[in-house]
Amino acid sequence: MNVSPLDEFLTGELNDFIRTQLLATIEQLQTGQRYFTYNTFNVLLDVESGTATVEDELDVDRQSTVALDDFRKLLDEARAATNTDSQGIKSKSVSKPQA
């Protein structure tokens, strides 16, 4: 099974800090590009082309590009899927397969 860099970024590297940073930049950026380097993935937000590109830092040939609006929606969905319980412990919602 081939998992895209975008999916790996969303499920593995994305956390509250990164999500907030990217969403704030998408809202504030009017023109041009903004490039972020994280542990294993890099993110290029390009307002001019209306795209977001997630690059695999460890394999330069692996990248995923999506529409900027779709990327923002994915970040919002990832935020909604992350819950904090009453003790402040973060957990991700996981759907169980139907038997």
SS (H, E, C) 53-91: EEEECCCCCCEEEEEHHHHHHHHHHHHHHEEECCCCCEE
Total structural domains within the chain: 1
pLDDT at residue 96, rounded to an integer: 41
Range of the domain at 9: 5-81
Beta bridge partners of 35: 44
The rounded average pLDDT for each run of 10 residues, N- to C-terminus, in the chain (99 residues) is 91 96 96 96 97 95 97 91 50 43
For residue 57, how far is the Cα from the chain centroid? 14
pLDDT at residue 1, rounded to an integer: 61
pLDDT at residue 82, rounded to an integer: 65
Q: 38 φ, ψ to 5°?
A: -115, -165
What residues have CB less than 8 Å from 58, skipping those under 6 apart?
A: 40
In-domain check, residue 87: no
9 vs 66: CA distance, rounded Å:
13
pLDDT at residue 83, rounded to an integer: 52
